[in-house]
Amino acid sequence: MPEPTGPRARPAADLPKTFGRARPVITGVRPTVDDGHYPAKGAVGERVAVEADIFADGHDELSAHVRFRHEAGVPWETAPLEPVGNDHWQGEFPVLRTGLHHFCIRATVDRFGTWLKDLQARAGAGQDLSVELVVGGALVGQAAARAKGVDRRRLAELADRLHRTAEVTGGAAGLDVASDPELRELMVRHPDFRPSARSKVYRVDVERARARFSSWYELFPRSASTDPSRPGTLDDVRARLPYVARLGFDVLYLPPVHPIGTTVRKGPNGAAEAGPGDPGSPWAVGAATGGHTDVHPDLGTVADFDRLVEAASAEGIDIALDLAFQCSPDHPWVTDHPDWFRKLPDGTIRTAENPPKRYEDIYPLDFETSDWRRLWDALRDVVEFWIGHGVRAFRVDNPHAKPLRFWEWLIANVRSEHPEVIMLAEAFTRPRIMEHLAKVGFTQSYTYFTWRTTARELEEYLTELTRSPTADYFRPNFWPNTPDILHASLQNGGRPAFIARFVLAATLAASYGIYGPAFELVEHEPRHPGSEEYLDSEKYQVRHWDLDRPDSLADLVARVNAIRREFPALQQNRTLRFHHVDNDQLLAYSKTSDAGTDGSGRTGPILMVVNLDPEVAQAGTVHLDLDALRLDPSEAFVVHDLLTDARHEWSGADNFVRLDPKILPAHVFHVEPLASRVP
């Protein structure tokens, strides 16, 4: 039989001095990832929510705190944890700079709190308190010795008063002194942590604020021209920046801007053969003019790219670049590093495929090559090259098709020198793989949002993303469409479906994106029935878009993004709560926040109600969780629709809504006190 382990297998003399006196037990600590193997995620300016189950033998009161500090070695700071019932404790601490933060939980028996509880019980039973007041005076005197300045003097005075009341009155008057809130506050401020139990030290990887809250807009540079006689360039993208800024986006994501191979180039709609003027897929990276660190000559030069990044920064926009770690047959690496590609028995290189789909214009890299170290370094150098040209955000193509250890290594290397870099994982794959990509460092991830269309599906999925331990490390980024995905709901639901899915994406998740201008111009024709591919997809051909079309959703997009910036409640996912509706075609949910992470923004709850039926008006009673909305059941309130500026007076938990998709399929309500109602 194996030898027993743990403290029982050791003589008591060999245990640490405080082991037997530190009575609390600390379990279920959050935020943690795989018991601390990976760091949880945070963002600059927010408060990290900490919780744990903390208990001890007997009936003593407990005291618990979270200790925290930045990895740079600054002194430890302390923030209190509060019991919320059933031995569960919660608290939070601020993070004000990027990098790893360490935290642990410390718990001890609250001797003063226990003494006060017992004193009050004895007083209620009519017992003599004189001895107990002497005991309490000693506890307060010890706190005075730990304190300094004014607190030290005041605690000493209160300790003396407890002693004197015990001597003069036999304890009858001492209860008032002991129960004084000032004394309790002073004792909390100067706790006795010895002996205390401590959790292990955990980590939180704190990124810049845009890691938590961001609005992404994707466009193809070659389709950015306003002149139908020519394809677009990077200069055309630069001219498009005011439009993107007016819509309210802060990240502009560009598909690969590199040279495109000509060998086995794909034609329109993915045709196996391309014509002389067909531009090919941007994801077939590499040609005689260069590879992953070059710009397609038709788009411009690296200098043009630099000007684009600079102009975008002036608009408050990050340029996000696609990382497509794959090559066309014409990529320089195919000749210079043939061992980086997997060969078939006849010596030819295997093309990319996802049976039955085949991508003859793309060679996947062989990450199992014996030369893997040089391959990894080359891919890291690609990222470093574009960081050197101002890129601070990357959308990573199909990361689940590359080794997970590679991403863990790459992201750690990049962020050790560039902690501001954001990486978005485009991984529509099995949940455990998506989760692991987040654990190893991806900032955000695409999700299954596109395929969650019913109220039940959305509520279950969002509850998993925001309320389970997954929320400690997995940041969702919701996309209602992408160049690869035109869901059937958008194909068949028309303009109301586009509006509903947009409002859902932009308000359910703190980060979201759209592929435009296809989205705001309600592009909805599939390549063929049953396909999720766009007809005449920009992946294979140049498109020209009329941004001034009267049916454009641009104004709605701009309004919703303005609401997101104005209301901090929509800039995080932690407070998302769903409210029951007696009609399963209506989805109601809310978010709350006191203020922005920088102290700005409008406070108060935001309540959304969305009609999921794009054809028929739906009505029902919303049963509000008043506690989640911080509302007094006895007081009426106003719901101010931020999309239409209409105001309605509501009261109590049950309120009626009706949404006609032909008018507007969604409410975005700011819940306001009745006094704020405009006559």
Using alpha carbons, select from 217, 282, 250 the residue that is nearest to residue 502: 217
CA distances to 62, 88, 140, 179, 301 from 108, in Å: 6, 15, 17, 21, 63
Structure tokens at 212: 């938590």
Cβ neighbors of 367 (< 8 A, separation 6 or more) are 375, 402, 403, 406
3-state secondary structure of 200: coil
The half-sphere exposure of 410 on its side-chain side, counting CA atoms within 13 A, is 29
Sheet order of strands, 422-426 included:
444-445, 422-426, 393-397, 318-323, 251-254, 214-218, 511-515, 477-478
Q: What is the CA radius of gyration of the chain?
A: 30
3-state secondary structure of 334: helix
d(CA 42, CA 304): 34
Q: What is the CB neighbour count within 10 angstroms for residue 121?
A: 10
Segments in 170-325 forming alpha helices (H) = 174-178, 181-189, 234-247, 302-314
Q: What is the CB neighbour count within 10 angstroms for residue 643?
A: 16
Using alpha carbons, select from 626, 589, 572 the residue that is nearest to residue 455: 589
Structure tokens at 661: 């998709």
Residue 312: φ, ψ to 5°: -65, -40
Using alpha carbons, select from 457, 446, 551 the residue that is nearest to residue 496: 551
Candidates 426, 472, 523, 538; catalytic one: 426
Candidates 51, 294, 397, 613; catalytic one: 397
Catalytic residue check, 457:
no
Cβ neighbors of 338 (< 8 A, separation 6 or more) are 349
Catalytic residue check, 546:
no
For residues 549-571, one letter each, b for 16 or more C-beta atoms within 10 angstroms of the residue's C-beta and e for the rest, the string is: eeebbbebbbbbbebbbbbbbbb
CA distances to 181, 512, 564 from 506, in Å: 45, 6, 8
Residues acting as catalytic residues: 397, 426
